[in-house]
Amino acid sequence: MSSKYRSLAKEIVDNVGGIKNIDSLHHCQTRLRFKLKNNDLANQKKISDNKDVLKVVISGGQFQVVIGMQVADVYDEVVAYMNNQGFDQEVDSKPDTGTQKPKNKFDLVADFISSIFSPIIPALAGAGMVKALLAVLVTFNVISQTSQSYVILNMIGDGTFAFLPILLAFTTAQKLKTNPFLAVAVAAIMVHPTWATLVDAGKPISLFNIIPMYAVKYTGTVIPVILVILLQAPIERFLNRVIPQAIRIVFAPMILFIIMGILALSIVGPFGDFIGSGLTFVFTWLSKNVSWAPPFILGGFYSILVVFGLHHSLAPIGFIQLSQMGYDSVFGPGVLLANIGQGTSALMVGLLSKDSKTKQIGTSTGITALMGVSEPALYGLNFPKKYPLIAGSIGGAVGGILAGMTATRRFATGSSGLPAVMMYIGDNTMSYFYQIIASIAITMIVTVIATLVLFKKYEKTSNTVKTEEPLLSRTGSDQIYAPVQGHVIDLSSVNDDVFSQKLLGDGLAIEPTDNNIYAPFDGKITALFPTKHAIGLTSNNGTEVLIHIGINTVELNGKYFTPHIKINDVVKKGQLLMTADFDKIKQASYDTVIPIILTDTKDLVSKECDDTVTNGDILLSI
């Protein structure tokens, strides 16, 4: 490994607050995923400024450093540096007693799901590709399903999925900070061949003719073992607390195995299987009634979740459907088409652009996204420029409609790029393979067209501004009035890098001292988010403004917000738009600062106000 990565590793560790602030670390395909004891101790800007870091995202309870395809090499150097600094997982995993705000329930759930599934994704991807290769060999009559070669290759590819409960037991125990080896032992009870034999016999099963055991197989399942380890963790801690240390090493595991073995096979496991059956019903209903919806929604919006680091919380949907039904039609097709859309749009911008840097970023990250890793394209080009993100999302959504209407499904899980098309060969048919190829083609064609149209509009406008007379004299001026009373702060001080880095556009922010938000000009309401936390407006002169009420307040799901307008309403300057209970929003531990963003320009914006404003004061001039 190069000295560049050693230097980068040191800078990352030092600026997340050092080893004493690190609770745990793992990585996915592009990101280092830290769980820090106190995020406030990390120097997010210092890490983001490093040329080898694409972006820093704090989401799902994790401090995520986006590196790119070389993340595994960087991870190795980070771990080596942490170990050299004396990192001790047992000591440093103690709860932080600082002042960090408690995470909301969504963050806790997202963090838990991501933490237990992310580490096993490489194993699932590798096994999935083996099974996809086997399907190809069978389809083209290279080997027979009755041959020993088929049996051996199928065993190689199926091992990960058959013993998936053991992998999940280990990662769940790690997340819950309990003994992972005891968790694996309990999971082994659930997938033991003897238990499978008892289930296959079809006879009632009981312990001492008193405790009924429900005949359910747990090989390849997801939910039952997670529920079992969630229950095992507190029981294990209780046993370790009450059993004397001199005999603990022998009797604590023995008692734990008996308790959890019985509970797993009699109550908890069957309950998890019941939940899985319910999900199977939901998947079946979706496939029969609205098969177009999941691929359409994921194809269009999945990439936005990737930008904010929330996508891993959805991945278990594919694993669960695959384990329950033998195929995945809800998660896999839409995600594949989302990546194809973003890769195609980035590649097109790279090919069309005359700027050498944009050309280099677009072509390289576009190809990477087509191979299944979209983060470099999203962070390096599509999200900063916006229109490639929109073009790729349009293409992914349209392709998703075709994939959904044809009930396209994959039979293994793994990478979501062009190599993944082999995973759509199964059920002794090539139909799903042809359907995903057609969906990919539609996604690419629509994305190319959308990118061409948007590139011509936005890039031409950008070039024209540089060569013609100033925009201000061409279009006339526009004034933005303060929509709320409060203290004006610079966007760079907003505690959200999407706003502070002006990724959505230029503007200012206001820390409100009043609960009412008013129209900043004469114009029209163009967007009112269902969660009521943000309003989009367009002035009569064409200026587009986003008023974002608070940071992460989308999680409140509309609570404490009372809108007085609806989409397409024509409004006058000073008209009441929204009432927000900022006291209650603060009590819920949310930042109440209000960014006012000019989404259609980053240039020729001047501040026209003092540090304190009231409704009706001039805030900005365009």
Alpha-carbon dihedral of residues 34, 35, 41, 42, nearest 10 degrees? 20
DSSP 2-28: -HHHHHHHHHHHHHTT-GGGEEEEEE-
Model confidence over 100-123: pLDDT tens digits?
444 556 566 666 776 787 788 778
Q: Give CA–CA dist 506/503, Å, rounded.
A: 8
Determine the 3-state secondary structure of 206 from DSSP: strand
Q: Give CA–CA dist 383/342, Å, rounded.
A: 10
Higher pLDDT, 276 or 28: 276
pLDDT band for 391, please (50, 70, 90 cuts): very high
For 198, 229, 265, the CA distances from 213, given in Å and listed in that order, are 10, 19, 6
pLDDT at position 551 is: 87
Superfamily of domain 479-621: Glucose Permease (Domain IIA) (2.70.70.10)
The 3-class secondary structure across 385-397, one letter per residue, is HCHHHHHHHHHHH
Question: 22-31, 127-136, 547-556: which has the minimum mean pLDDT?
Answer: 22-31
For 77, 110, 162, the CA distances from 80, given in Å and listed in that order, are 5, 28, 33
For 85, 270, 376, the CA distances from 74, given in Å and listed in that order, are 16, 42, 16
CATH class of 3-94: alpha beta
DSSP 515-545: SEEE-SSSEEEEEE-TTSSEEEEEETT--EE
Average pLDDT, the chain: 82
Higher pLDDT, 575 or 118: 575
**Closest by CA position to 535, among listed 552, 520, 547, 518:** 547
Strand partners, 63: 34, 58
pLDDT at position 72 is: 77
pLDDT at position 498 is: 67
Mean pLDDT of 135-149: 85
Q: Give CA–CA dist 35/58, Å, rounded.
A: 10
pLDDT at position 349 is: 92
| CA 228 to centroid of chain Cα atoms | 26
Task: Give yes or no for a contact between 575 and 547, defined as CB atoms under 8 angstroms apart.
Answer: no
Burial category of 472 from C-beta neighbours within 10 Å (exposed 0-12, middle 13-18, buried 19 and up): middle
Q: Give CA–CA dist 604/471, Å, rounded.
A: 8
Mean pLDDT of 254-268: 92
Cα angle: 125, vertex 128, 131; to 5 degrees: 155
* Percent of the chain surpassing pLDDT 70: 87
Determine the 3-state secondary structure of 441 from DSSP: helix
> For the chain, which residues make up each domain, given as ranges?
3-94, 163-289, 293-312+326-464, 479-621
- Look at strands 594-598 and 570-571 and give their pairing: unpaired
Cα angle: 596, vertex 602, 606; to 5 degrees: 70
Most confident of 91-95, 96-100, 403-407, 489-493: 403-407
Task: Give yes or no for a contact between 417 and 333, defined as CB atoms under 8 angstroms apart.
Answer: no
Dig out the tokens for 261 from the structure: 């073995």
Dig out the tokens for 594 from the structure: 């209000």
Q: Give CA–CA dist 415/335, Å, rounded.
A: 10
Indicate if 28 belongs to the active site: yes
pLDDT band for 187, please (50, 70, 90 cuts): very high
Question: 94-103, 393-402, 411-420, 586-595: which has the minimum mean pLDDT?
Answer: 94-103
pLDDT at position 341 is: 93
Task: Give yes or no for a contact between 436 and 429, defined as CB atoms under 8 angstroms apart.
Answer: no
Catalytic residue among 25, 28, 166, 422: 28
Q: Give CA–CA dist 269/226, Å, rounded.
A: 9
Model confidence over 234-251: pLDDT tens digits?
999 999 889 988 888 889
Cα angle: 439, vertex 291, 106; to 5 degrees: 100
Dig out the tokens for 523 from the structure: 């114009």
pTM of the shown model:
0.55
Mean pLDDT of 521-537: 86
Look at residue 476 and tell me whether its pLDDT is greater than 60: no
Burial category of 196 from C-beta neighbours within 10 Å (exposed 0-12, middle 13-18, buried 19 and up): middle
Q: Give CA–CA dist 449/466, Å, rounded.
A: 26
Model confidence over 403-451: pLDDT tens digits?
999 989 888 776 788 888 888 887 778 889 999 999 999 999 999 999 9
Mean pLDDT of 74-85: 86
Output DSSP code: residue 100: P
pLDDT band for 301, please (50, 70, 90 cuts): confident
Q: Give CA–CA dist 270/195, Å, rounded.
A: 14
Mean pLDDT of 169-196: 90
Model confidence over 350-376: pLDDT tens digits?
899 887 778 888 888 888 889 887 877
Burial category of 62 from C-beta neighbours within 10 Å (exposed 0-12, middle 13-18, buried 19 and up): buried
pLDDT band for 263, please (50, 70, 90 cuts): very high
Note the residue count of the chain: 622
Contacts of 351 (CB under 8 A, 6+ apart): 359, 362, 363
Q: Give CA–CA dist 393/299, Å, rounded.
A: 7
pLDDT at position 97 is: 37
Q: Give CA–CA dist 319/118, Å, rounded.
A: 12
For 167, 170, 178, 509, the CA distances from 93, given in Å and listed in that order, are 22, 17, 11, 37
Q: Give CA–CA dist 374/121, Å, rounded.
A: 16
Which of 527-548 are b and which e, b meaning 16 or more Cβ less than 10 Å from the residue's Cβ?
ebbeebbbbbbbbeeebbbbbb
Counts of helices then strands in the chain (DSSP H, E) = 24, 20
Question: 129-143, 386-400, 597-611: which has the minimum mean pLDDT?
Answer: 597-611
pLDDT band for 39, please (50, 70, 90 cuts): confident
pLDDT at position 571 is: 92
pLDDT band for 17, please (50, 70, 90 cuts): confident
Most confident of 195-209, 227-241, 302-316, 518-532: 227-241
pLDDT band for 92, please (50, 70, 90 cuts): very low
Task: Give yes or no for a contact between 418 and 402, defined as CB atoms under 8 angstroms apart.
Answer: no
Contacts of 240 (CB under 8 A, 6+ apart): 248, 252
Interhelix angle 332-352/356-370, rounded to 10 degrees, is: 160
For 20, 84, 94, 177, the CA distances from 91, given in Å and listed in that order, are 9, 15, 6, 12
Give the containing element (helix H, strand E) for 320: helix 315-325
pLDDT band for 69, please (50, 70, 90 cuts): low
Task: Give yes or no for a contact between 525 and 572, defined as CB atoms under 8 angstroms apart.
Answer: no
Give the containing element (helix H, strand E) for 154: helix 148-162
